[in-house]
């Protein structure tokens, strides 16, 4: 944390202790389900309308390089709640799992420190509490909605609230986006999908649900304003993983891991800043704890963002204090014979994305034939876009999309973002990048050792042996 930010924070804590006032901030997290960067007005998207996210970007800090810890709901949310790297969470590193009670979550720690805690919608999960040692969802006790939660919080007591939307998770109602007035020709199409009317319409349906999530965020903001609570409430809006399209969700590419993230705290944070350093959603737990005067736990691998938030306006927020972020995945859906996952680790820097696939003999999107759940290539959610690519995979116009989204991948992938922002040309085998590949691989391996990743032993497949609690085959 910058020295000026430290002095600012200590002065604030000291004032609170002298006056005896409990002016610790309230904390509100609103998390979307499968929403990717840059699909918001404040992020440059010209089609989707997100007035409430855009308002928070004006009034708070917009994080330009925020990444989920894993592009899969359960492990991503587990990392956010615990402040720990996914591979440290045992069973919690997989989708449809459990999060052992020995891994402390920030809502529990804040509740112990005197906060009122509540959860509406999707918290940690999908998964089970059975066998975890927990009596409630790790994100908090269920409450019907934000208004009724506030009605039960004693006056002057700080609160910690989690709103978990199920938007824009599939399935979508067909053509809702087009019927709402959005224009398919205005969609910015990535090169790894076929540019067809079906795919553009699918994107508009996704946008429709992004807008619905934004309206739900607006309801919370309006309630904070009405109750006079906005000034000293930290509001965080983000997503758990990327959009449910081929080569996005459940993949370590940016479309699966680069998240919208905005944080507003009017009492302490000057608005209108854009922060260019790399951050992980695992950084949120230690941030909340530090803001509440609770010491982050030593086991947390995430780091507090408080310094980035309260740094004086004279500090250039684009100067990145962290020049990389680490990403990972294990088993998403149970879609490979033998209940196997697709273990991968990655390091993302300003210029490069380096990925290590530990089992390149497996199919990254799941087996071509259905195994226990979802369907063929089941790590990719069913959709018109997926159906189109699979049905026409043998045609020259569609074969590249099938290769990029579904075919087997090499042990190492390297993408030069300066020349290939959509990450479609793997240059790991290009000798001109040999030194970059070696340096990034060494850096990734060092992080894995430092954080006690079981995958430092390539033969350790413990994540494949954890039980899968998801729905059976249909």
- In this structure, what CATH number is given to the domain that contains residue 78? 3.40.720.10
Expressed in angstroms, the distance from the first to the final Cα of the chain is 51
Spatial distance between the Cα atoms of 317 and 313, rounded to a whole number of angstroms? 8
Question: 71 and 175: one domain?
Answer: yes
Q: What is the DSSP letter of 329?
A: E
* Same domain assignment for residues 100 and 150: yes
CB 69 within 8 A of CB 80: yes
What whole-number distance in Å separates Cα of residue 124 and Cα of residue 76? 9
Among residues 273, 295, 314, which one ends one of the domains? 314
Does the residue 3 lie in any domain?
no
With a pLDDT cut of 70, the percent of the chain lying above it is 93
Q: What is the DSSP letter of 169?
A: P
**Residue 153 and residue 285 in one domain:** yes
Number of other residues whose CB lies within 10 A of the CB of residue 14: 10
Does residue 213 carry a pLDDT above 70?
yes
**The token pair that represents 54 in the structure block:** 């855009």
What number of other Cβ atoms are within 10 A of residue 28's Cβ? 24
Per-residue pLDDT, 4: 41
How confident is the model over 395-434, as pLDDT tens digits? Answer: 999 999 999 999 999 999 999 999 999 999 999 999 999 9
What is the average per-residue pLDDT within 182-202?
A: 98
The residue from 264, 286, 314 where one domain ends is 314
Angle at 239 between CA 123 and CA 107, to 5 degrees: 40
Q: Please write the tens of the pLDDT for every residue from 345-359.
A: 999 999 999 999 999
Alpha-carbon distance of 420 to 39, in angstroms, equals 20
- 319 domain residue, yes or no: no
Please give the mean pLDDT across all residues of the chain: 93
Q: Tell me, what DSSP letter sits at residue 297?
A: P
Domain range for residue 458?
Answer: 325-464
CB count in 10 Å sphere of residue 167: 21
Residue 59 has which token pair?
Answer: 């009034």
Is 16 exposed, middle or buried (CB count within 10 Å of its CB: 0-12, 13-18, 19+)? middle
Same domain, 141 and 118: yes
β-pair partners for 264: 235
Q: So what's the pLDDT on residue 310? A: 86
Look at residues 273, 293, 314 and tell me which one is the last residue of a structural domain.
Answer: 314
């Amino acid at each position: 944390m910058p020295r000026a930010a430290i002095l600012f924070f200590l002065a604030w804590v000291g004032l609170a202790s002298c006056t005896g006032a409990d002016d610790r901030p309230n904390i509100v997290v609103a998390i979307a389900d499968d929403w990717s960067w840059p699909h918001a007005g404040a992020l440059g998207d010209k089609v989707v309308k997100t007035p409430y996210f855009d308002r928070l970007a004006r009034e708070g800090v917009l994080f330009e390089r925020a990444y989920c810890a894993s592009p899969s709901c359960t492990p991503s949310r587990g990392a956010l709640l615990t402040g720990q790297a996914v591979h440290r969470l045992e069973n919690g590193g997989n989708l449809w799992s459990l999060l052992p009670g020995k891994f402390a979550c920030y809502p529990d720690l804040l509740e112990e420190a005197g906060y009122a805690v509540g959860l509406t919608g999707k918290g940690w999960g999908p998964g089970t509490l059975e066998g975890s040692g927990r009596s409630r969802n790790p994100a908090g006790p269920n409450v019907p909605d934000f208004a009724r939660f506030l009605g039960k919080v004693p006056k002057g007591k700080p609160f910690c609230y989690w709103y978990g939307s199920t938007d824009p998770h599939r399935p979508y109602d067909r053509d809702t986006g087009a019927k709402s007035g959005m224009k398919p020709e205005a969609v910015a199409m990535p090169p790894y999908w076929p540019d067809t009317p079906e795919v553009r319409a699918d994107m508009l349906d996704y946008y429709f649900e992004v807008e619905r999530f934004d309206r739900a965020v607006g309801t919370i903001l309006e309630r904070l304003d009405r109750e006079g609570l906005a000034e000293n409430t930290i509001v965080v809006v983000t997503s758990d993983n990327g959009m449910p399209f081929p080569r996005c969700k459940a993949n370590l590419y940016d479309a699966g891991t680069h998240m919208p993230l905005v944080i507003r705290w009017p009492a302490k944070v000057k608005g209108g800043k854009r922060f260019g350093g790399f951050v992980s959603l695992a950084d949120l737990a230690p941030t909340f704890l530090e803001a509440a005067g609770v010491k982050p736990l030593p086991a947390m691998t995430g780091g507090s963002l408080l310094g980035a938030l309260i740094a004086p306006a004279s500090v250039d927020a684009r100067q990145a204090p962290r020049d990389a972020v680490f990403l990972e995945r294990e088993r998403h859906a149970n879609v490979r014979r033998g209940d196997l996952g697709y273990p991968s680790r990655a390091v993302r820097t300003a210029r490069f994305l380096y990925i290590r696939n530990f089992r390149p003999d497996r199919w990254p999107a799941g087996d071509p034939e259905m195994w226990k759940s979802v369907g063929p290539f089941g790590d990719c959610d069913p959709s018109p876009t997926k159906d189109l690519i699979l049905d026409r995979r043998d045609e020259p116009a569609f074969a590249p999309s099938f290769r990029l989204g579904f075919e087997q991948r090499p042990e190492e992938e390297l993408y030069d973002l300066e020349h290939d922002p959509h990450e479609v040309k793997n240059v790991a085998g290009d000798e001109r990048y040999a030194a970059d590949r070696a340096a990034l691989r060494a850096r990734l391996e060092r992080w894995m050792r430092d954080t006690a990743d079981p995958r430092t032993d390539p033969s350790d497949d413990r994540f494949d042996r954890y039980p899968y609690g998801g729905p059976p085959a249909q």
